[in-house]
Structure 1
Amino acid sequence: MLMISIIDMDKRAFHDHAHKILRECLRRKGIEYGENTPVVKGKLGKPYLSEHPNIHYNLSHAEGIAACMVSDCECGIDCENVRDFRPNVMKRAFSEKEREMVESAPESERNLLFFRLWTLKEAYVKALGIGISYPMDTAEFSFEGENIITHIKDCRFRQHILKDGRYVVSICEIENTAT
C-alpha cells in the first residue's frame, strides 16, 4: 500500500504528517498505530511493529511531500522535491555510467534525472535497512522509456514523477527476504 501527500506546511511538521499517513495505511490493514504501539529496531536500526513482524513499512518526507509504503515484504521508499542537485553527491554516490547519463542529458532534464536515480538508490538501501553507509555507487540504475533497468536481483522498483516533474517518489520491495 502506498500513500503520497503533497503538502504545504512547516518543515518541522513533515515528520508528524508522515506518521499520520502511516497510521492511515496501517488502519486499512486492521492495525492500530499510535504513540504507544510497540516498535522495535532490527540489527541495523530499521523499525518494525513488534506485534506484526510480517508487516513492513517505510516513510519518507521532503519539502512539500510525504510518502509511506506498507508491504508484506521488506520495502523502502524515498521522495524528493526536484531542485538543483549537488555534483559532489553525484561523484560520491553514482556509478560512472550514471554520472555520464546525467551529464549528457539536456540541462533542462538533469535535476529530474539526478533525483530519479537518487531516490531509487535511497529506496533500495532503506529496503535493505542499511542506510547510506551502503556503497551507493554499486546500486546502478538506468531507464528504457518508463522501465527501470538495474542489475539488482530479487527487488521490484517503481517510480512516480508528480506535479510535472516537481517531485519524485521511488519504491523498492525485496521479493526474497533472504538478502
Structure 2
Amino acid sequence: MNTFHDDQPSHIEVYAIKNSDQIRDETFRALFQTLSPERQDYVSKFKRASDYQRSVLGDAMVHRILQDKLGLDPMHIEIIRNAYGKPSLKHHDNLHFNVSHSGHWIVCAVSHEPVGIDVEKMEAIDMDIAKRFFHKTEFNALLHCDPSVRLSRFFDLWTLKESYIKAVGKGLHLPLDSFALELLGGEWAPVLGENGETYYFKQYTVEEGYKLSVCGISRHFPKNVQFVTAEEL
C-alpha cells in the first residue's frame, strides 16, 4: 500500500479482500483485537458468522490502509460518521474512504476526494425493483436490452448508483431515481452533482457473479484492484 501525500495528484485506490474458510479463527480473533471498543461491541452483536467475519475484515482492512496512507498509530485513528452514516477520518479531511461488502467480498476505495464504492453478488431479482427505484429512462433501457444481459445490466446500474450516492455522502437519503445513468460509447457518462461537482465511474471484476463499481470526483482510477489477504492485515 502506497503512502498518500498532500502534494500528489488526486487519485483513487481500490482494495478487496475475500472472506474464506481458509482464514483461521486465530486470525479473526487477532484482527478483532485491533478494533476500537465501540466497533468490537458492534460486530459482537452479529448473530451470523459471515456478518461478523465481513465486518471484522472490513474494519481491519480500513484501519490498515489508513495507517499505511497517513503513517498513523492505530490509537490515533478515529472514524466518525456524518448525519447520513458515511464514515470519515476525524482530523483528516484530505483523505476519503468508503467500504462495501456482499457475499464473500469486502472492498474499499480511498482518495483525496470524495469516493464511493459498491459490490453486489448477482442473484435473480424481480425487475419491478428497477421500476420502483430506478429513473424511468434506466428502467426503459433495461426493458429494451437483450434478456440475456438484463440481469447483468441491472446490477451494473444498481452498483453504479449506490457508489454515486455513497460518494455524495447521503446514502439512500438521495433517491436512486433522482438521477439517471447513461452508457455512452461503452463507458458510463459522468454525473453532475448537486453542488456542481462532476462524478466519474469505473467498474472492476473481482469474481464472476459479482459487480463492483466505484465513483469519485477524481478521474484517476487505478487499472486494477489491489487484492489483500487477512494475514497481511
**TM-score, normalization by structure 1:** 0.85
How far apart, in 1, do the equivalents of 2:73 and 2:118 lie?
A: 21
Counterpart position of 2:50: 11
What's the offset of the Cα at 1:66?
A: 1.0
- After the TM superposition, list the runs of 4 or more consecutive aligned residues in structure 1 that deviate by more than 6 angstroms: none
* 1:85 counterpart SS class: coil
Checking the alignment, whether the CA contact within 8 Å between 2:190 and 2:200 is kept in structure 1 is no
Q: Which has the higher contact order (CA 8 A, sep 6+)?
A: 2
Q: Percent identity?
A: 27
TM-superposed deviation, 1:156: 1.6
* Alpha-carbon distance, 1:173 to partner: 0.9
Name the residue aligned to 1:170: 213
Code of the residue aligned with 1:159 in structure 2: it is Q
SS at match of 2:212: strand
Q: Cα RMSD over matched residues?
A: 2.2
Aligned counterparts of 2:128 and 2:74: Cα–Cα separation in 1: 39
Q: 2:14 aligns with which of 2, 21, 34?
A: 2
Which residues in structure 2 correspond to 1:10-29 (within 5 Å)? 10-12=49-51, 13-29=53-69
Give me the whole-angstrom Cα distance separating, in 1, the residues matched to 2:135 and 2:171: 18
The structure where helix makes up a greater share of residues is: 2
**Alignment equivalent of 1:55, drawn from 90, 95, 115:** 95
Q: State the number of aligned residues.
A: 174
The verdict on how the C-alpha distance between 1:149 and 1:32 changes in structure 2, with shifts beyond 3 A counting, is same
2:163 aligned residue (123, 128, 133): 123
C-alpha distance in 2, partners of 1:66/1:57?
13
CA distance in 1, matches of 2:207, 2:79: 34
Q: Which runs of 5+ in 1 are unaligned?
A: none
- Conserved 8 A contact 1:40-1:49: yes
Determine the structure 2 residue equivalent to 1:160.
204
Which structure's CA Rg is the greater one? 2
